[in-house]
Amino acid sequence: MTDEELLHLARDKSELTDAAQQALAAEMSVRGLTVPVEKRVVKAIPKTDPDSPYAKERELVHVWTVWSLRDALKSQALLDRAGIPFYMGEEMATGVDEVTSDFTKGVKVKIMRIGTPWARLAFANYEPQDAPPKPPEEDWQEIPVPCPKCRSTDVVLEPPDPDSEVDTGELRSEFEWTCESCGHHWNDDGVLGKKPAPS
């Protein structure tokens, strides 16, 4: 590869494996090549007058979290291309090279609220590569309600009386149950372990 090709590859080295990055660094060292640091325009943290009619639009909002350097670099490239100022981490860094937070713990990316519609467009096809796996969703399991008299779980929740709710203007706070096995009828507030009111 030519020197220019190596320098181009070095600018995107986050896409390479560890072994490839080591090989690239060794070759660049042999050739005496260094990647020039691109100067970024420092974007001051906006100070908004709370009485300003634009205060809400200029409010900083957390839009997503990056979990690796390469995802942070991709986010930065997309936001820069869209012309959207951003701030990363607790240090409110305006560029990935200024981030000192630990990416493995998640680094928040914030933008002004007014920029969120354009950010959605910029990230329409973006898929993070290093986001932590989502915890498996627990299957909802129905908890059987035992009859307080015979302990049977063959109980039925009676439908609410719409007329009573219309009269009071409030939703009922108690549930009405009937045991299909022994015919026992009782009311409670749906909290297990509470003694039912006598029917």
DSSP summary character for residue 52: S
Percent of all residues in the chain with a pLDDT value above 90, rounded to a whole number: 15
Give 92 or 171, the one with higher predicted confidence: 92
Confidence of residue 163 (pLDDT cuts 50, 70, 90): low
Which tens digits make up the pLDDT trace of 143-161? 677 888 898 888 887 765 5
- 198, exposed or middle or buried, with CB in 10 Å at 0-12, 13-18, 19+? exposed
Q: Is the separation of the CB atoms in 101 and 107 below 8 Å?
A: yes
Which tens digits make up the pLDDT trace of 107-141? 999 999 888 888 888 888 888 888 887 766 655 55
Which residues are CB-contacts of 124 (< 8 A; sequence separation ≥ 6)?
none
**H or E stretch at 7:** helix 3-11
Confidence of residue 199 (pLDDT cuts 50, 70, 90): very low
Q: State residue 169's pLDDT score.
A: 44
**Length of the chain as a residue count:** 199
Mean pLDDT across 76-95: 91
Least confident of 32-36, 47-51, 110-114: 47-51
Q: State residue 134's pLDDT score.
A: 72
**H or E stretch at 188:** strand 185-188
CA dihedral 124, 129, 132, 137 (to 10 degrees): 60
Q: Is the separation of the CB atoms in 146 and 155 below 8 Å?
A: yes
Per-residue pLDDT for 98 more than 60?
yes
CA dihedral 187, 190, 191, 193 (to 10 degrees): 50
Most confident of 38-42, 62-66, 123-127, 164-168: 62-66
Give 193 or 125, the one with higher predicted confidence: 125
**The tokens of 176 are what?**
């009405």
Task: In whole angstroms, give the CA distance from residue 70 to residue 12.
Answer: 9
